[in-house]
Amino acid sequence: MNNVEKLLAENKAWSQEVKEKDPDYFQQMAKSQTPEFLWIGCADSRVSADIIMNLSPGELFVQRNIANQVISTDFNCLSVIQYAVQVLKVKHVIVCGHYKCGGIRAALEPFNPTLELTNKWLMHIKDVYRIHRNEIDKLETMDQKTARLSELNVIEQVRNVCHLSIIQNAWQQDSQPTIHGWIFDIANGLLEHFVTIAPGWDIDPIYRSLHADDVKL
């Protein structure tokens, strides 16, 4: 049995085990999804959101990319956020980074000429580094710099979420969701809270989304 065949076999074993415990599990799950949380995390294979929070399928709506970024031109991420907020009515959006992140570390180094597309994606993290360069460059080791940039990147991405018109409209209409910034420590398996922004947060005027009634022609 090769590795791919093993995955399919493990799936069958898992499905059978679940049905033995709860014969109606999959029928009930197929009816709808009502997750309370949207998770925006890193694509790193070691950071599986439902596993590290001990959740079952259906409890978490998930968007993952390199270094858990929220970029205003990433229509995949924006579509996920819009669906989660406007259709699923999630109450919380969690942006979660992690220590020892390869994308964050790469952003602290010169571009790799063989990874042209990845370089463009990492440009946004380099911007976060540039903003906080004086603080980060005072740290002694690359591990320390990577860890601090991971934290600052989470805070920046939380702000990016709040700057979206999708979120600002939801705050005005539904008084939700609350936005959270977390860090996952791969070395001990624990999550750490960094920032929480509640609906109605005082957004910098240059990022505010005007509503039709507010626009003066």
Is the bond preceding residue 177 a cis peptide, omega within 30 degrees?
Answer: yes
Two tokens at 18?
């679940």
Rounded to the nearest 5 percent, the helix, strand and coil shares of the chain are: 50, 15, 35
Residues involved in catalysis: 42, 44, 46, 98, 101
Beta bridge partners of 42: 65
Q: Rounded CA gap, 143 and 138, in Å?
A: 13
Cβ atoms of residues 46 and 186 within 8 Å = yes
Q: Rounded CA gap, 193 and 127, in Å?
A: 23
Q: Which H or E run contains 20? A: helix 3-21
Tell me which residue of 133, 127, 126, 121 sits closest to 108, measured CA to CA: 126
